[in-house]
Amino acid sequence: MSAPRTLLASARKQLEEAGVASPDADAAILLAHVLDTDRNRLFLVDDVAEHHEKAYARLLARRAEREPLQHLTGVAYFRHVELAVGPGVFVPRPETELLAGWAIDQAATTDRPVIVDLCTGSGAIAKSIADEVPGADVHAVELSDDAYAWAVRNLSGTGVDLRQGDMADAFPDLDGTVDVLVCNPPYIPLEAWESVAAEARDHDPDLALFSGQDGLDAIRVLERRAAELLRPGGVVGFEHADEQGPDGQNGGAPAVFSGTGRWNDVRDHRDLAGRPRFTTAQLAT
Cα 220 to its chain centre, rounded Å, is: 20
Sign for the pseudo-dihedral over CA of 155, 95, 201, 60: negative
Q: Which residues are annotated as a binding site for S-adenosyl-L-methionine?
A: 142, 184
H helices of 133-216, where? 145-155, 198-203
Burial of 255 (0-12, 13-18, 19+ CB in 10 A): middle
Rounded Cα distance between 164 and 169, Å, is 11
3-state secondary structure of 75: strand
Angle at 148 between CA 143 and CA 152, to 5 degrees: 145
Rounded Cα distance between 270 and 245, Å, is 9
Q: Which residues are annotated as a binding site for substrate?
A: 184-187
H helices of 185-251, where? 198-203, 217-229
Q: Which residues are annotated as a binding site?
A: 142, 184-187
Closest to 208 in 3D by CA, of 130, 145, 256, 162: 145
